[in-house]
Chains A and B, each alone.
Chain A
């Protein structure tokens, strides 16, 4: 009797939550970040509009969050359109086209002595900005092992960042040396390889990823009036772990923890910037309204060195066709 009662209580849970492979295409398009597979289902096209709002206010210096010297303050908004497509049940392709809008301000005050024991005050406000298409990402993900009840999914992915954004610092046409147009891209190719292991255990999904980003050298102008130089950004090695929780049929709570280390930048072969590392946490909410998904979250820099320490806000709208 007790066994039957236990079966009646537990059985429906498996019946409801054991929908690992939805039958219809419509159901496949309505899966949440917890229930969907590691790559897109075959034949599904997912278009996304996203934005990331980030501020330049503090950096990790000597392991502590410090305001940036010289009173520089800025905002950086990267909006993007992306399209992902499930070529097979295991293989998906994706393209991301970003648009960069950044504004940086510097406001020093110069005080000069005069003959009358007074000071002549000379306030300055310099603004530099970036506007335009950034570097485009192309990526492919392949499920080496597809997930089932007893084993997790293992996904290998590769991506290439193309130098489609403007790479040089350029004069904005006025007479002030400190105001100019910033680049919207790095001017270099970047290649990323990642390996992810992921398991759904409803109402949870957890994953762990390791990745490596190789950046090529770029010949570009990094300062107004300077000659172009060969600049190479540091290579990045990182790992991330995520735990997503399904709160209701259509709302999920996402948690992501990233740890990454970037090597120092070189300019014409000489070191031009120190290596850095960063530990950041990204909590977020994901709302699945039929085929529409709204993701939002806040990236919070926890610890690090030689890295930006400000939070970033993410908003992403996705629709599956």
Chain B
């Protein structure tokens, strides 16, 4: 099987007639809407992106939106991503990508007034979600259709658990502070959450593109499934007035929810250098569970989100493209509803 695959990977570039037109001339003449679902043979694309999300709303389990500002949990999320794509030939593309996140979410500050004359106690919880996410590797196989209008491809991939998945020890603090001239015992609980899943995740999907004269419609659906149960750690603490905080960690079992992610995009290219698009994307996760104690499994709530993203791609040069979009969460359940600005820079070359 492997030999056959190797044979296909090596022979197809030679057989492919598109190889006669290569390199920059191909990129210079190709409109955005005409791009195939996979890269051209020997085309390398380096992509770097940055997303800043304003997380000030959330969808509850009924799908109603509520303000996180009202409960003191608004936050800013930063996400960086890098991926490399390579067209083995006109029908086979390999991808690898990795992303990093930083988000600090605070809980509402609690002020506890004791019955006696003791000082007021304040509690604040700070959750920091940061670090690299797991490494994605993928293979897209495009159908060799002899029509310009349709393009269809199959996407296979996996997230490899290379990123840290074990939570760092918390760093709680206690201090005697002052509030409105009165003494106050101030506790701040700081928890750290890494972004690695700790288990390999398989992905299978389908891509389709339909082209008209000045417009194109494309879509992608992916299904993701965790291949193992994860065993993350949970940190517990106790406070001693003399020794401060003491920590101990326990493990529990976690089944990563299966998930569907999708996007549909309509593109219109009014100018050679400008491509406008409207993207609708979403993510649904279900069937996950957490087991803290033996056989007792507690279901992870069903989560879904739909995002509408208008944006534009600017073809700065035939090789360099800048893509910008605004992400607006329009519907969901048990999910943050951010507004996000996303900037992606893509650089294309034919190195070999």
Interface residues, chain A, CB within 8 Å of chain B?
55, 57-58, 67, 69-71, 73, 75, 105-113, 119, 123, 125, 247-248, 251, 285, 287, 298, 310-311, 313
Q: Is B111 a contact partner of A71 (Cβ separation < 8 A)? A: no
A285 B322 Cβ-Cβ under 8 A: yes
CB distance from A137 to the nearest CB of B (A): 26
Chain B residues whose C-beta falls within 8 Å of the C-beta of A248 in the assembled complex: 316-317, 320
Enumerate 27 A-B pairs (CB-CB under 8 Å) in ascending A order: A57-B75, A57-B76, A57-B104, A58-B104, A67-B104, A71-B109, A71-B124, A73-B69, A73-B106, A75-B54, A105-B69, A105-B70, A105-B72, A105-B74, A106-B72, A108-B110, A109-B111, A110-B110, A113-B113, A113-B114, A113-B115, A119-B112, A247-B320, A248-B317, A298-B52, A311-B78, A313-B52
Q: Are A310 and B76 in contact (CB under 8 A)?
A: yes
Given A67-B104, A247-B316, A298-B52, answer yes or no on A108-B113 (Cβ-Cβ < 8 Å).
no
Q: Which of B52, B106, B110 contacts A67 (CB 8 A)?
A: B106
Contact in complex: A107, B316 (CB < 8 Å):
no
| In the complex, chain B residues whose CB is within 8 Å of the CB of A247 | 316-317, 320
Q: In chain B, what residue has the closest Cβ to A104?
A: B69
Interchain CA distance A285-B312 in the complex, whole Å:
14
B108 close to A (CB within 8 Å): yes
Give the CA-CA distance A311 to B114 in the complex, in Å: 39
Asked if B290 is an interface residue, CB under 8 A from chain A, the answer is no
From B76, B104, B108, B317, contact of A108 by CB (8 A): B108
Q: Cβ of A69: which chain B residues have Cβ within 8 Å of it? A: 124
| Nearest CB of B to A143, in Å | 30
B298 at the interface (CB under 8 A from A): no
A55 and B76 contacting across the interface, CB-CB below 8 Å:
yes
Q: How far is the CA of A119 from the CA of B320 in the complex (A)?
A: 60
Q: Which 3 A-B pairs have the closest CB atoms?
A: A107-B72, A71-B72, A71-B109
Please measure, in the bound complex, the distance between the C-alpha atom of A285 and the C-alpha atom of B313, giving whole angstroms.
13
Would you give the shortest CB distance from B266 to chain A, in whole angstroms?
23
The docked-state distance in angstroms from the alpha carbon of A263 to that of B111 is: 34
- Chain B residues near A105: list those with CB within 8 A: 69-70, 72, 74
The residues in B between 199 and 254 inclusive whose CB is less than 8 angstroms from any CB of A are none
The CA-CA distance from A311 to B50 in the complex, in Å, is: 12
What residues on A are CB-neighbors of B70 within 8 Å?
Answer: 105, 107, 125
Give the number of residue pairs across the A-B interface with Cβ within 8 Å: 81
Contact of B314 with A by CB under 8 A: yes
- Complex: how many Å from CA A57 to CA B160? 33
Q: Are A251 and B110 in contact (CB under 8 A)?
A: no
Contact flags B140-161 to A (C-beta < 8 A → 1, else 0): 0000000000000000000000
How far is A261 from B146 in the complex, measured between Cα atoms in Å?
Answer: 64
User: B341: CB under 8 A from chain A?
Assistant: yes
Of residues 56 through 73 on chain B, the ones whose CB sits less than 8 Å from some CB of chain A are 56, 69-72
Q: Across the interface, which residues of A come within 8 angstroms of B115, CB to CB? A: 113
Contact flags B275-295 to A (C-beta < 8 A → 1, else 0):
000000000000000000000
Q: Which of B94-117 contact A (CB under 8 A)?
A: 104, 106-115
A123 touches B108 (CB 8 A): yes
Give the contacting residue for A73; candidates B74, B126, B317; CB below 8 A: B74
Nearest B residue to A287 via CB reads B314
Q: State the interface size on chain B (CB cutoff 8 A).
A: 31
Contact status B71-A107, CB under 8 Å: yes
Min CB–CB distance B218 → chain A (angstroms):
25
Q: Contact: B341 with A71, CB < 8 Å? A: no
Contacts of B316 in A (CB 8 A): 247-248, 251
Q: A105-B72, A113-B114, A247-B317 are in contact. List 16 more A-B contacts (CB 8 A).
A: A57-B75, A58-B104, A67-B126, A71-B109, A105-B70, A106-B72, A109-B111, A113-B113, A119-B112, A125-B70, A248-B317, A285-B322, A298-B52, A311-B52, A311-B78, A313-B341
Indicate if the CB atoms of B113 and A112 lie closer than 8 Å. Answer: yes
How far is the CB of B15 from the nearest CB of chain A, in Å? Answer: 35
Complex: A58 Cα to B106 Cα, angstroms: 11
Residues of B contacting A109 with CB < 8 Å?
A: 72, 108-111
A67 surroundings in chain B (CB, below 8 A):
104, 106, 126
- A123 to B70: give the CA distance in the assembly, Å: 9
Q: How far is the CB of A68 from chain B (nearest CB, A)?
A: 9
Chain A: minimal CB distance from B322 (Å): 6
- Interface residues in B308-335 by Cβ distance below 8 A to A read 314, 316-317, 320, 322
A119 contacts across to B, CB distance below 8 A: 112
Nearest CB in chain A: distance from B327 CB, A: 14
Q: How far is the CA of A67 from the CA of B105 in the complex (A)?
A: 9
* Smallest beta-carbon distance B232→chain A, Å: 24
Q: How far is the CA of A67 from the CA of B127 in the complex (A)?
A: 10
Shortest CB–CB separation between residue B115 and chain A, in angstroms? 5
Closest residue on chain B to residue A57 by CB atoms = B76
Within 8 A of A (CB), among B330-351: 341
CB-CB under 8 A from A310, the residues of chain B are: 76
Give the distance to chain B from A167, nearest Cβ to Cβ, in Å.
Answer: 26
C-alpha gap A38/B71 in the complex (Å) = 49
* Complex Cα–Cα for A287 and B324 (A): 13
Question: Once the chains are docked, how many angstroms separate the CA of A285 from the CA of B317?
Answer: 14
Contact (Cβ within 8 A) A107 B108: yes
Minimum CB distance partner of A65 in chain B: B104
Does the CB pair B110–A111 fall under 8 Å? yes
Q: How far is the CA of A119 from the CA of B115 in the complex (A)?
A: 10
Using Cβ atoms and an 8 Å threshold, which residues of chain A touch B72?
A: 71, 73, 105-109
Q: Which residue of B lies closest to A112 (CB)?
A: B113
Of all chain A residues, the one with the shortest Cβ separation from B104 is: A67
B76 touches A107 (CB 8 A): no
Q: Which of chain A's residues have a CB closer than 8 A to the CB of B314? A: 251, 287
Which single member of A58, A73, A111, A125 contacts B112 (CB below 8 Å)? A111
